[in-house]
Amino acid sequence: MPRPIQATISLDSLRHNLARARSAAGGARVWAVVKANAYGHGVERVFPALRGADGFALLDLAEAETLRALGWGGPILLLEGCFGLEDLATCERLNLWHVVHDPAQIHWLASRRKPRAHRVFLKLNSGMNRLGFTPEQYRVAWQRLQELPAVGAVSHMTHFATADCEPGIGEALERFESAVDGLPGERSLCNSAALLRYGVQEPARREDPSAVLGDWVRPGIALYGGSPTGAHADAQRWELRPTMNLLTRIIGVQQVEAGALVGYGATFRAERPMRIGVAAVGYADGYPRHAPTGTPIVVDGVRTRLVGRVSMDMVMVDLDPVRAAGRAADIGSPVLCWGRHLDSELGIDEVAEPSGTLGYELMCALARRVPVQVV
Ligand SMILES: *Cc1c(COP(=O)(O)O)cnc(C)c1O
């Protein structure tokens, strides 16, 4: 019997979340962000559910190649643009649109000859200070692109540093609007957080959302049912559905006395006699190693907690609440690490939060050794 761990990707949930993103986007077109192998889900696996998007955004040229091989003929956007001059030939061959965020990328474009072969998104650094031209450099870069024969349409783009938290997007949006003021071209601003917090669905929003929505929105995490804010309650409020579950089983049971120490480093001490279950999941599967005692986990449909340290291939769980609910809590009992299974739901952000991380990191870190099933 294979080790009883399994991840499941739900195409229905992906479709549902894409529809949620679309309704928040008003009439704007939707890039499905599938970078990092579709946030750990697998580009090939999510493609049938996300092909209803208007385009795919990613940053790895191999993933763009995969989408073309799957038959996707629509827009593909390279979010970090080209990494070197040679990538421009790949963009021409695969018809990839690409971000221009640095003068070097403009310099490379100047050497291409095929007329209007490159559709580019010029990126403004609106305050995050990661990628993009400053507001002072922006118009010069735009003008330079206009003069290059190999460049076709130039669109405008920025990325928000604080769409998911305070102080929000106000100042960055102002910088963007003044930088692109009067310039022709499509606009793209929103990640999931901006789309959900400032899009058309948000009841708290009073102003017209069209400025922030622009022509294209770029949701990533929302498509995968994670919360861009890290708070599971937000994912629920936006009616996002988990698209990945991680399911395993109890493979061992220990009945321990009060005072017994559990796991590496003896970090957990039983306060009373306890039934401890050993579940077949560990950090080598992508379960966060820093998950502390108390991290929620579901056994036999009953919410309980992790106890002691996460090891490479196993975690220990408290089976007493499961027994108290009248379940067997024995070898073979199903264990839901995150996601949705039967009547149980455990938000990936609920698991990530006690470890000081986000659902993003957990889904991206799903290990290769975990078998994945698509439903
Ligand atoms: C990753 C990324 C997104 C999507 O972000 P989410 O928070 O997952 O919605 C959008 N735009 C850019 C430029 C990105 O790098």
79 in contact with ligand 1, CB cutoff 6 A: yes
Sign of CA dihedral 292, 297, 302, 308: negative
Q: For residues 24 and 163, state if they share a domain.
A: yes
Question: How many Å apart are CA 164 and CA 208, to the nearest integer?
Answer: 19
Find the catalytic residue in 39, 114, 123, 264. Answer: 264
Q: How far, in Å, is the centroid of ligand 1 from the Cα of 230? A: 14
Q: Of 209, 231, 253, which residue is a domain's last? A: 231
User: Based on the domain organization, do 142 and 29 belong to the same domain?
Assistant: yes
Give the domain CATH number at 151. Answer: 3.20.20.10
Residues 208, 333 within the same domain: no
Are both 285 and 357 inside the same structural domain?
yes
334 backbone φψ class: left, alpha, beta (φ>0; ψ -120 to 50): beta
Number of domains making up the chain: 2
Looking at the structure, tell me whether residues 198 and 302 fall in a common domain.
no
Q: What global pTM score does this model have?
A: 0.96
Cα gap 118→103, rounded to integer Å? 16
Q: Rounded CA gap, 122 and 143, in Å?
A: 11
| Cβ of 227 less than 6 Å from ligand 1 | no
Distance 192 CA to ligand 1 centre (A): 7
- Residue 237 falls within a domain, yes or no? no
Whether 1 is covered by a domain: the verdict is no
As given in the structure block, the two tokens for residue 243 are: 């698209």
The residue nearest atom 1 of ligand 1, judged by CA position, is 220
Looking from the CA of residue 226, the nearest atom of ligand 1 is 8
Examine residue 238 and state whether it is found in any structural domain, yes or no: no
- Mean pLDDT for each 10-residue chunk of the chain (375 residues)? 97 98 96 98 98 98 98 98 98 98 98 96 97 98 98 98 95 96 97 95 66 96 98 97 98 98 98 98 98 98 98 98 97 98 97 98 98 98
Structure confidence at residue 96 (pLDDT): 98
> 53 alpha carbon to ligand 1 midpoint, in Å?
15
Question: For ligand 1, is residue 33 a contact (CB within 6 Å)?
Answer: yes
Residue 217 and residue 74 share a domain = yes
Atom number, ligand 1, closest to the C-alpha of residue 159: 13
- Would you say residue 3 lies in a domain? no
- CA 259 – CA 257 distance, rounded (Å): 6
| Residue 255 and residue 289 in one domain | yes
What is the domain-level CATH number for residue 368? 2.40.37.10
159 Cβ inside 6 Å of ligand 1: yes
Residue 2 resides in a domain: no
Any domain includes 239: no
- Nearest partner of 250 among 274, 279, 276, 275, judged by Cα: 279
Instruction: Tell me: do 199 and 68 sit in the same domain.
Output: yes
Q: With beta carbons less than 8 A apart as the criterion, state whether 168 and 212 touch.
A: no
Q: Which of 202, 231, 260 is the last residue of a domain?
A: 231
85 with 141, same domain: the answer is yes
Q: Same domain, yes or no, for 189 and 287?
A: no
User: Does the annotation count 264 as an active-site position?
Assistant: yes
Any atom of ligand 1 within 6 Å of the Cβ of 191: yes
Which atom of ligand 1 is found nearest the CA of 39? 8
Residue from 33, 240, 349 to probe ligand 1 pocket by mutation (most atoms less than 8 Å from CB): 33
Which sign does the torsion angle of CA 292, 295, 298, 302 carry? positive
Q: Is the domain of 227 the same as that of 349?
A: no
What amino acid occupies position 264?
A: Y
pLDDT at position 209: 81
Q: Distance between CA atoms of 115 and 152, rounded to whole angstroms?
A: 8
| Residue 131 CA, closest ligand 1 atom number | 13
Query: Catalytic pick from 35, 224, 283, 360?
Result: 35
Q: What spacing in Å lies between the alpha carbon of 246 and ligand 1's midpoint?
A: 24
Residue 39 is a catalytic residue: no
Cβ count within 10 A of residue 119: 18
Q: In this structure, are 297 and 253 located in the same domain?
A: yes
Q: Considering only CA atoms, which of 249, 316, 246 is closest in space to residue 286?
A: 246
Which atom of ligand 1 is nearest to 163's Cα? 7
Q: Cα of 189 to ligand 1 centre, how many Å?
A: 10
In a domain, 286, yes or no: yes
Domain boundary among 178, 198, 231: 231
Pairing of strands 274-279, 315-318: antiparallel
| Domain assignment of residue 4, yes or no | no
Residues 6+ apart with CB under 8 A from 147: none
State if residue 220 touches ligand 1 by the CB under 6 angstroms criterion: yes
Domain with 78, as residue range(s), is 11-231
Show the tokens assigned to 370: 């975990």
